[in-house]
Structure 1
Amino acid sequence: MKIVIITVAGVSSRFNKDVPEEDKILKCLYYEENPTDTLIYHMLEKSSFADKIIIVGGYKYDDLAEYIKDYIPKELQDKILTVYNDHFSDLSSGYSLYLGIKEVLDNFEDIDEILFVEGDLDIDDESFTKVIESDKDVLTFNYEPIYSNKAVVLYQNGNDEYHYLFNSDHGLLSLEESFKAIFNSGQTWKFRDMELLKVANDNFYENLIDDTNLGIIQKYFDLVEDASEIEIIGLKHWVNCNTRQDYKLIKNYWER
């Protein structure tokens, strides 16, 4: 069984900046003309290969459910399971991933892999297909310059271990060890060992519940003993949609 987890619970604060309260929207549902020109619609199309698609929502959760019912094709609707994160406003992104993984591990068997992608991304089809087709655990990177105020840094140290750096206050980053390679994270991952993933997820709930989703991801890849079982995939087109200007860039790409 192949499963995709998409997290869209956040309050979209930058996307809704200076927008009247009655016009604020969950950013993965935003469109200007065509209701299928949304981040979630395009990501669900890419995820149609999966047997199940878990969407973890929170902010404007009812709007998410209504959009799925009204605009997502029936064959995709039948694969979708939505999960409500009741801590979307007071815990970080890690809790959404925790809930998604828990939903999968508690309710499904014979899981071959889980592909996790953050729901505010737009990724080209060719690169996403490479992630889908990989038979290994997957880490991804994009080709944007690394700026400490917005990038999630992925690096490989001298022991061939992969580690992440991120400043939630958008300040400076410090790397305290030598490294072989450094990347701008593509915020898309694949997990193939469900036992290791359960350990990482349980550890998050017990020790790191205030952390970002990197708390689970870092623990999982720390537990992968053989670095040759990890594939690093570059994403040619990658936009993290934080603002409405970002959306316009994405929409122009779709139109091309």
Structure 2
Amino acid sequence: MKIAIITVAGISSRFNRDVPEEEKTLKCIYWEDDPKNTLIYQLLNKVSSYDRIIVVGGFKFDDLESYLSKNASPELNEKIALCGNDHYDDLSSGYSLYLGVKEALSYDDVDEILFVEGDLDIDDESFSNVINSQKNVITYNREPIYSNKAVVLYQNENNDYKYLFNSDHGLLAMEEPFKAIFNSGQTWKFMDAEILGKANRYFKNNIIEDTNLGIIQKYFDLIDNNEIEVIELKRWVNCNTRDDYKIIKEYWSK
């Protein structure tokens, strides 16, 4: 079984900045002109080949559920498993991934698990490269690396892949030599369900307040580097604001 996890639980604070309370929305279901012009709709179509699609929501969960029931195709709705994160406001992104992985591992014969953050727009060709890879996948994008917003991926002198991120959007410090440095594409594929389960349990028992990188880093620390493919995402937009959305929507219309 192949499973995709999409996390969309966050409160969309930057997306809803300066917006009246009654007009605040869950970022992934925000649309203009057409209800299909949403981040979640586009991502669902990209992962439609998967056997099960786990969507982890939290903020405005009822709105998410209503949107999917009305706009996702019947075929997709049969595959979607909605998972509620009651700690979307007091724990970091790691708990959403933890819940998604826990749900995924409840199924039998899991061959691979794809994880993509729900506020991303990625070109079809690059996304297909991730799906078609037969290895564990780490991704990177072409955006400049700024410490106040980027998730940094680097390769150290032992060829291990490591992540750096500052949740407070301050400076970053790399405390070891590196061979290469990238802006993470925040999309991953895990080919070993047993090891992912170990990483998920470690997160729950030791670092539950961490971001999703807590699970991801633990997993890749346990995987042989030869089992990893690093894939470039040629077009990648992290939708943080409504201006970002307009840029993405213009691309969809082409």
TM-score by length of 1: 0.99
Deviation of the 1:33 alpha carbon: 1.1
Deviation for aligned residue 1:254: 0.7
Matches within 5 A, 1:189-204: 189-204=188-203
Give 1:165 deviation, angstroms: 0.4
Tell me, which stretches of 5 or more residues in structure 2 are unaligned? none
Residue 54 of structure 1 pairs with residue 54 of structure 2: yes
1:241 to partner: Cα distance:
0.3
State the shift of 1:255 in Å.
Answer: 1.1
The residue correspondences of 1:82-161 to structure 2 (distance < 5 A) are 82-106=82-106, 108-161=107-160
Query: Could you tell me which residue of structure 1 aligns to residue 208 of structure 2?
Result: 209
CA distance in 2, matches of 1:204, 1:252: 39
Q: Cα distance, 1:86 vs. partner?
A: 0.4
Shift of 1:67: 0.3
Partner of 1:254: 252
Q: 1:188: which partner in 2?
A: 187
Secondary structure in 1 matching 2:10: coil
Residue 5 of structure 1: aligned partner: 5
Output the amino acid matched with 1:12: S
SS at structure 2 position matched to 1:10: coil
- How far is the alpha carbon of 1:70 from its aligned partner? 0.5
Q: How does 1:17-28 map to 2 (within 5 A)?
A: 17-28=17-28
Structure 1: state its 5+ residue gaps. none
Root-mean-square deviation (CA), in Å?
0.5
The aligned counterpart of 1:232 is 230
Which residue does the alignment assign to 2:239? 241
Q: Which AA in structure 1 matches 2:212?
A: N
- Deviation at 1:104? 1.2
CA distance in 2, matches of 1:214, 1:189: 11
Paired amino acid for 1:109: D
Mapped partners of 2:156, 2:49: distance in 1: 34
SS in structure 2 opposite 1:173?
coil
Aligned length: 254
Q: Kindly, what percent of the aligned residue pairs are identical?
A: 68
One-letter amino acid matched to 2:246: K
1:28-60 deviation line (CA, Å, top 9, x unaligned) = 000111000000000000010100000000000
* 1:88 Cα deviation from its structure 2 partner: 0.4
State TM-score, norm by structure 2: 0.99
